[in-house]
Amino acid sequence: MTLVIALKWLQEEGEGVLISSDSRATYGPIAYEVKKIHPIFYTHDKEEIDLAVAGGAGDPSIVKYGYSLAESVLKSRSEQLGFRCLSQDEFSETVREIETKLISRFSALRREGIEPEFQMILASVDSQGKASMYIFDYKGMAEPVHDDPGFAIIGKGAVTGGVLLTRLWGYSPERSSGMDLGMLSAFVIDVVSEIDPAVGSFLGESIFMRIKEGKVTMGPLQAEAWRKYKDSIGKRRELLQQLQMLCDQRDEDVVKKALDRLMATARRKPRAKKSLSSG
Residue 40 has pLDDT above 90, yes or no: yes
Find the distance separating the first CA and the last CA of the chain, reported in whole Å.
29
For residue 87, give every residue at least 6 positions away whose Cβ sits within 8 Å of its Cβ, in sequence order, or none: 126, 127, 128, 130
Name the band, by pLDDT with cuts 50, 70 and 90, for residue 274: very low
> What is the mean pLDDT of the segment spanning 30-59?
87
In the CATH scheme, what architecture does the domain 4-221 have? 4-Layer Sandwich (3.60)
Point out which residues pair with 25 in neighbouring strands.
Answer: 32
- The confidence score (pLDDT) of residue 266 equals 78
- SS3 of 136-165: the string is ECCCCCEEECCCCCCEEEECHHHHHHHHHH
Query: pTM of the prediction?
Result: 0.90
Determine how many CB atoms are found less than 10 A away from the CB of residue 90: 19
DSSP 66-82: HHHHHHHHHHHHHHHTT
What pLDDT, in 10s, does the model give residues 178-194?
A: 899 999 999 999 999 99
What pLDDT, in 10s, does the model give residues 214-251?
A: 999 999 988 888 889 989 999 999 999 999 899 999 88
DSSP 207-225: EEEEEETTEEEEEEBPHHH
What pLDDT, in 10s, does the model give residues 94-136?
A: 999 999 999 999 999 999 999 999 999 999 999 999 999 999 9
- The confidence score (pLDDT) of residue 106 equals 97
Reported as type and span, the H/E element at residue 58 is strand 47-58
- The confidence score (pLDDT) of residue 209 equals 97
The domains of the chain are located at 4-221
The 8-class DSSP code of residue 264 comes to H
- The confidence score (pLDDT) of residue 30 equals 54
